[in-house]
Amino acid sequence: MGIDADRNAQTGRSGLEYMYVANSTGAGLAKWDGTQWADFAHQPTSPGLTSTDFTFTITLADIGGVTTFDFVAVSLRGNDSDGVPDNGVATYPVAIAPSTTTTTTTTPPPPPPPTPRVKALLIPSGLLFAKAGKVLRVPPLRLLLIDGTTVTADSQTCTLTFKGKKLPALAGGCAWKIPKTYRKARLVLKISYSYGGATKSTSWPVYPG
């Protein structure tokens, strides 16, 4: 294995400043001294051999304290040889191409603004002056919100009772024909309404004239 520590092809021996050689008699690290490959003081390289791999360690401080260097590796067996890379030199650390996979982060839409709360129910005056023998009808309710705007209730239900008993509603609901016998009687009108997902109820007495 040849090492170009300064990554300059014009220096060293054919661009190489260090050479690590291993064969059946041993292994060693040498340095180009300008004339030849020579031994020099360095950290142990701890060579190891298995049935498939040859391993060794080179301490960066022994090759000039560099953190990046170029290298070539060649194996020989008889008249056969194989080099890595096939052309040029390799670089340590090995550069890894950035992933071509892109991750798209979708920003969730902002939450909708909160629905203004209901401040009051706007009661039509006609509901306060019911007449016996006539129809009492509750129109679509208008609501006063806390921001001062008025809106129509999303839904509404109504009951009209006398002594706890419901009067039968006319078709469509929220309307009743008040019997004449209920004149001056105390009826209770209860209205439940919803707006913006919230439901409220209110009730008050009705005295048909």
Q: What is the pLDDT of residues 113-167, one digit of tens each?
A: 887 788 888 887 777 788 999 999 999 988 888 888 899 999 999 999 999 999 9
pLDDT at 160: 94
pLDDT at 125: 75
| Contact predicate 177/169, CB 8 Å | no
Query: To which residue do tokens 């609501």 refer?
Result: 143
pLDDT band of 103, cuts 50, 70, 90: low
**Which of 27-36, 62-71, 105-114, 139-148 has the lowest average pLDDT?**
105-114
The yes or no reply on domain 118-206 and CATH 1.20.140 is no
Residue 137 backbone zone (phi > 0: left; psi -120 to 50: alpha; other: beta): beta
Where do you find CATH 2.60.40 in the chain? 118-206
Question: What are the C-alpha distances in Å from 79 to residues 19, 75, 76, 196, 203?
Answer: 21, 11, 7, 88, 107
Report the 10 Å Cβ neighbour count for 78.
5
**DSSP structure string for 60-106:** GGGGTS-S-EEEEEEEEETTEEEEESSSS-EEESPP-PPP----PPP
DSSP state of 113: P
pLDDT at 94: 64
| Contact predicate 118/141, CB 8 Å | no
Query: To which residue do tokens 């798209």 refer?
Result: 104
